[in-house]
Amino acid sequence: ILNVEQSPQSLHVQEGDSTNFTCSFPSSNFYALHWYRWETAKSPEALFVMTLNGDEKKKGRISATLNTKEGYSYLYIKGSQPEDSATYLCALGGSARQLTFGSGTQLTVLP
Amino acid sequence: NAGVTQTPKFQVLKTGQSMTLQCAQDMNHNSMYWYRQDPGMGLRLIYYSASEGTTDKGEVPNGYNVSRLNKREFSLRLESAAPSQTSVYFCASMPRGLNTDTQYFGPGTRLTVL
């Protein structure tokens, strides 16, 4: 079982603040790193998939970076809005046909 | 396209009762997955089916069985429900089951075992 860790577990920020959180994973068994956004009472939805060291992906105000050598990925949100409030999950794609999910970072953006 | 659908949305069982959670996808995906979600523990894989006709155990398979009925449908059965199986259950599918594929999730089934 791959160990995928996310920090912090939860985060409160003011509207307009920028924020970031971390996903750590074992660098020795890396194939792909996924980020999902999970709103309360909904299903997780994919944000990014990254495979190469140094990858950087962007979607609007959200971006992510990947360092496979040291085993971490950062997710950044610029100018947080209340609608960004959600749990952000990262998941590691390894050698088996499955993803291993971290426990998530719960973001609350206060108006 | 409906995507991934799950039934029922809510269920309450008594300890020892059995039930089957249904999942179907209309995206012609090869791989399907069952997860449970518990507070503070993220999504944990119960069973998965990499392709029609195959099933494999995930991280927490004890107390569950699965059936990949056809390419569209993947059901999860609790033979004798226990309070520890109180959870939210999510079904997901992936186009090819590759680790770069996106997973598409159903709306979840909230199960309470008394």
Chain B residue with minimal CA distance to A104? B42
Q: What is the DSSP-derived secondary structure letter of residue A61?
A: T
pLDDT of residue A1: 62
Inter-chain CB proximity B100 and A98 less than 8 Å: no
Inter-chain CB proximity B40 and A9 less than 8 Å: yes
Would the pLDDT of A31 be above 90?
no
The residues facing B7 across adjacent strands are: B22
Q: What is the DSSP-derived secondary structure letter of residue B39?
A: T
Place of tokens 């990925």: A73
Q: B107 and chain A: CB distance < 8 Å anywhere? A: yes
**Residue range A98-109: average pLDDT?**
93
pLDDT of residue A19: 96
CB environment B49-70: b (16+ within 10 A), e (fewer):
bbeeeebeebbbbeebebebee
pLDDT one digit per residue (tens) for chain B, 114 residues: 779 999 999 999 999 999 999 999 999 999 999 999 998 788 999 999 999 989 999 999 999 999 998 999 999 999 999 999 999 999 999 998 788 889 999 999 999 999
CA Rg value for chain B: 13
For residues A64 and A73, give the distance between their C-alpha atoms in angstroms, rounded to a whole number: 7
- Non-local (6+) Cβ contacts of A49 within 8 A are A32, A33, A34, A93, B100, B101, B102
Query: pLDDT digit string (tens) for A79-97?
Result: 999 999 999 999 998 767 7
User: Which has more pLDDT, B42 or A59?
Assistant: A59
For residues A69 and B7, give the distance between their C-alpha atoms in angstroms, rounded to a whole number: 42
Query: pLDDT digit string (tens) for A3-17?
Result: 899 999 999 999 999
* Cβ-based interface (< 8 Å): residues of A facing B: 1, 9, 31-32, 34, 36, 42-46, 49, 51, 89, 91, 93-95, 97-104
